[in-house]
Amino acid sequence: MNNRLLAGASFVAVAAAGLWWTFQTEPASTAPAADEAGSALAEVLLPETLSANAQIGENIYLSQCADCHGVDSVGRAGIAPPLVHIIYEPSHHGDEAFQRAAALGVQQHHWSFGNMPAVEGLTRGDVAMVVDYIRELQQANGIN
């Protein structure tokens, strides 16, 4: 009888601990929130200053990328992900990944926004400047 009581008490304790843990941790999802279409998906802290290359990259980004990825790379619900996100840290998506995405497009793989088309009219130099801008935004937000 005592063994059943002990087993039952152990089960209840483990279940309670599991429930507590579930509600204490953040979900590890990369799916965007179900926000209003086009709304920002991230909050981005802006650096106090940008390097000269990043300033040029910001201008290119605003004319070529912001319609989908949002001003300051905050992403847009239902359209495109934020680029200031841990998924795009340099060790996971290096600079060449951005070059290839702009030149060739990219198949959906981390998010559920669909495939990204190639961006017409950008040179490798243009994309390098955009990457400098994104990397400086990432650094200002603790993504290195």
pLDDT digits (tens, 9 = 90+) for 61-109: 999 999 999 999 999 999 999 999 999 999 999 999 999 999 999 999 9
**Euclidean distance between CA atoms 121 and 60, whole angstroms:** 11
> Minimal CA–CA distance to 109: which of 120, 97, 119, 99?
97
CATH no., domain 1-144: 1.10.760.10
27 pLDDT higher than 80: no
Measured CA angle at 110 (ends 124, 59), to 5 deg: 35
Q: Which two tokens stand for residue 40?
A: 């920002």
Contact 73, 84 (CB under 8 A): yes
